[in-house]
Amino acid sequence: MSTPLASLDVLEPEAIRRSVDAALDDFLTEKEEAAAAPQLPYLSGLVRDFLSGGKRIRPLLCVTGWRAAGGSGDDAGSVFRIAACLEMFHAFALIHDDVMDLSDTRRGRPTLHRTLAAHHAACRGPDEVEWFGMSAAVLLGDLALTWSDELLHSAGLAPVQRDTVLPLVSQMRTELMLGQYLDLHATGGLTDDVDATLNVYRYKTAKYTIERPLHVGAAVAGAGPEAMAACTAYALPLGEAFQLRDDLLGVYGDPAVTGKSRLDDLRAGKNTTLTALALRGADAGQTALLRRLLGDPLLDEEGAAVVRGLFETTGARETVERMIDDRQRQALHALDHAPFGADAVGALKRIARMATARNS
Amino acid sequence: MSTPLASLDVLEPEAIRRSVDAALDDFLTEKEEAAAAPQLPYLSGLVRDFLSGGKRIRPLLCVTGWRAAGGSGDDAGSVFRIAACLEMFHAFALIHDDVMDLSDTRRGRPTLHRTLAAHHAACRGPDEVEWFGMSAAVLLGDLALTWSDELLHSAGLAPVQRDTVLPLVSQMRTELMLGQYLDLHATGGLTDDVDATLNVYRYKTAKYTIERPLHVGAAVAGAGPEAMAACTAYALPLGEAFQLRDDLLGVYGDPAVTGKSRLDDLRAGKNTTLTALALRGADAGQTALLRRLLGDPLLDEEGAAVVRGLFETTGARETVERMIDDRQRQALHALDHAPFGADAVGALKRIARMATARNS
């Protein structure tokens, strides 16, 4: 049960990562030791493996938000446990997302439903193996969701902290699910409605990945309305920029670095701001070509190269890069007026650059 | 926000049902009124519809456990909200269970993934519609799970109650998921291992449906170890009996009364104590026939009649009926030594009869 707080540089990403990982490890070890059934350690081992690949961006923001709102050493154990709760929740979200997207790889490794299917390939036929993998992955996602909740319950929050933190976490969860639903609903029919894609980003990424983790951390430190509003002013543009960068990486990224296939999004016909802009800027011939290639489950590298070319000739790629810049600037600008200490402002600036200029 | 407590007969099932339904309705109405996104009322409407078909057995046990441990009017609002949390959690479990079982009907109506698919049939191809229904149902289950948690958080428990209730709810959730995993793992290969099937029942039904709801209610009332142990002594045999009855209803029940197809379990090749006993009692020819018919996705009523015949000639059906009687007797016997008031004992006896002699 050790979640040490390096007193010198509480906002150093590696230090935060270590403390959050220690909290996750403690929790899973408790689960494994208390397990009445022998299957539980197998399942928690899968969750442990899955967690090990994460970037810990939400925990980083949570701890930074706590610090920005004046959090100090006394609450450190709680805030790392809450940060671990957000990471466990994210594991749940990704596991189910991969099932819904029928993805084969995540973080450079097979997705969980693929791993589970492979573990059972010996004793079943191919259809059954597929079905088993999907079903077991849904269940493991459910388990991660309930465990994220246990991390929250056992974070040692005082009643006044619970009263602000719990509703924020609930809101974050509902917002993510709503974003997922909007996304799901939009898949299949390609749209040139740029605003609709940005609306999905608002829920799925800006609020979920940036704003709410900051809010949750800030709430642990007892933040007032002004600090909460400053978090929002920074988070929403940054979150959009983060997702726009993600879209570009999904199409142009190096799979060896991102750990993700750069064909999956194109094959799935995923609606992104990039595809919406391309459709808006395309002439009739280009539109027909885009509509034929995007969403083709058999799209190969050659076809993908044609799509990438169209993203460039229609100006869509360049517009997305410009949108990222604009939003990054807005986020940094918001920090100029934020009632945060210099260390937190510095950390948030580093995060803004990392989130928008990253290559993985 | 009204959860009235009829002072005359707090343990009358219809009165409990009305109070729990009022708590669920209040909660969903709050969600709909606070919704920022227009899609939320559509989603919560689906959850509302789904909830409307339930038997409320877990809420009934929760309130009865609370009463058995000496709960009184002061906590009534909390206990109904907690009972509503258990029912919302159960909705989550069923929604995901139907996805995993690929079931078409539940409670006499199309399953949620079927309904969601049908709502989107107009604008998509058949494969895509199927996939959309499954994905959206996974998501709606996730939403129900997080909402069950919100009901728990907002039940108005005092800190001392939270400290006992929350770990029990967490345990209940992990146990159910473990039971589901064991069940999933066993599907596909038919077993004659009767004990293995009873082990699944212990997690999936006895603990989840009977023991934990009683414990959770009793914990709200501040029950001591003796009362908790008495709940367990009653719950575990009753839970097995309940599940054994369920298996018989899945094969012999009247679909017009149960609301479930009586071919689904057979077609899925579901391992039950009934099938394990039949395989154990079968000669070589009967075994071959059972293995050919059980798990055949195209099994028709004629084939099902053959299977039913084999359940009888092998003595499996009769043994299951005897096992139900034995367990019902054990459960009733446990009440003779329980430190519960006469009204609670009376209610628990009624529940034991209802759960084992039911036809739906």
DSSP string, B72-140: -GGGHHHHHHHHHHHHHHHHHHHHHHHHHHT-SEETTEE-HHHHHHHHTGGGS-HHHHHHHHHHHHHHH
Q: What is the mean pLDDT of residues A103-120?
A: 83
Rounded to whole angstroms, the Cα distance separating B5 from B173 reads 28
For CATH 1.10.600.10, list the domain ranges present in chain B. 1-156, 158-360
Q: Locate the chain A residue with the closest alpha carbon to B131.
A: A100
Q: What is the pLDDT of residues B210-219, one digit of tens each?
A: 999 999 999 9
Q: What is the DSSP string of A49-105?
A: HHHHT---HHHHHHHHHHHHTT--GGGHHHHHHHHHHHHHHHHHHHHHHHHHHT-SE
Q: What's the pLDDT tens digit per position in A218-258?
A: 999 999 999 999 999 999 999 999 999 999 999 999 888 88
Among A83, A105, A84, smallest CA distance to A94 is for A105
Across the interface, of B102, B145, B203, the residue whose CB is closest to A145 is B145
Average pLDDT over residues A76-96: 96
Render the burial of B218-230: b for 16+ CB within 10 Å, e for the rest. Answer: bbbbbbeeebbeb
pLDDT above 80: residue B5: no
Weakest mean pLDDT among A355-359, B80-84, B86-90, B167-171: A355-359
pLDDT number for residue B102: 80
Considering only A165-169, B102-106, B270-274, which range has the smallest mean pLDDT? Answer: B102-106
User: Do A96 and B138 lie within an 8 Å CB cutoff?
Assistant: yes
Q: β-pairing, A109-110 with A105-106? A: antiparallel
pLDDT of residue A188: 65
A196-200, B120-124, B164-168: range with lowest mean pLDDT:
B120-124
Express each pLDDT in A264-294 by its tens digit: 889 988 899 999 999 999 999 999 999 999 9
Q: Do B177 and A123 touch (CB under 8 A)?
A: no
pLDDT at B6: 41
d(CA A160, CA B303): 62
- Set of chain B residues whose Cβ sits within 8 Å of the Cβ of A166: 153
Task: Supply the pLDDT for residue B9.
Answer: 61
Q: Do A146 and B100 touch (CB under 8 A)?
A: no
Please compute the mean of the pLDDT values over residues A143-168 and round it to a whole number: 94
In the stretch 277-296 of chain B, residues with CB closer than 8 A to chain A read: none
Q: Do B149 and A150 touch (CB under 8 A)?
A: no
One-letter amino acid for residue B4 of the chain: P
pLDDT for A2: 39
User: Domain spanning B158-360: which superfamily?
Assistant: Farnesyl Diphosphate Synthase (1.10.600.10)
For the residues of B340-356, what is the DSSP string, one character each? --HHHHHHHHHHHHHHH
pLDDT value, residue B188 = 65
**CA nearest neighbour of A19 among A78, A101, A93:** A78
More confident residue, B188 or B166: B166
> Which residue type does B41 have?
P
Least confident of B9-13, B52-56, B337-341: B9-13
Distance from CA of B189 to the nearest CA of A (A): 8
Name the H helices within chain B. 13-34, 39-52, 57-68, 76-101, 112-119, 126-153, 159-186, 194-201, 212-220, 225-252, 255-258, 264-268, 273-281, 284-293, 301-313, 316-336, 342-357
Check whether A101 has a pLDDT greater than 70. Answer: yes
Superfamily in which the A1-156 domain is placed by CATH: Farnesyl Diphosphate Synthase (1.10.600.10)
Q: How many CB atoms lie within 10 A of CB B253?
A: 20
The top-scoring range by mean pLDDT among A183-187, B177-181, B205-209 is: B205-209
B267 interface with A at CB cutoff 8 Å: no
- Angle, helices B225-252 vs B316-336, to 10°: value is 160
pLDDT at A116: 85
**How far is B47 from chain A, CA to nearest CA, in Å?**
14
- pLDDT over 60 (residue B340): yes
At residue A185 the predicted structure's pLDDT band, cuts being 50, 70 and 90, is: confident
What is the average pLDDT value for chain B, to the nearest integer? 90
How far CA B29 is from CA of A356, B22, B116, in Å, comes to: 39, 10, 21
Look at residue B3 and tell me whether its pLDDT is greater than 60.
Answer: no
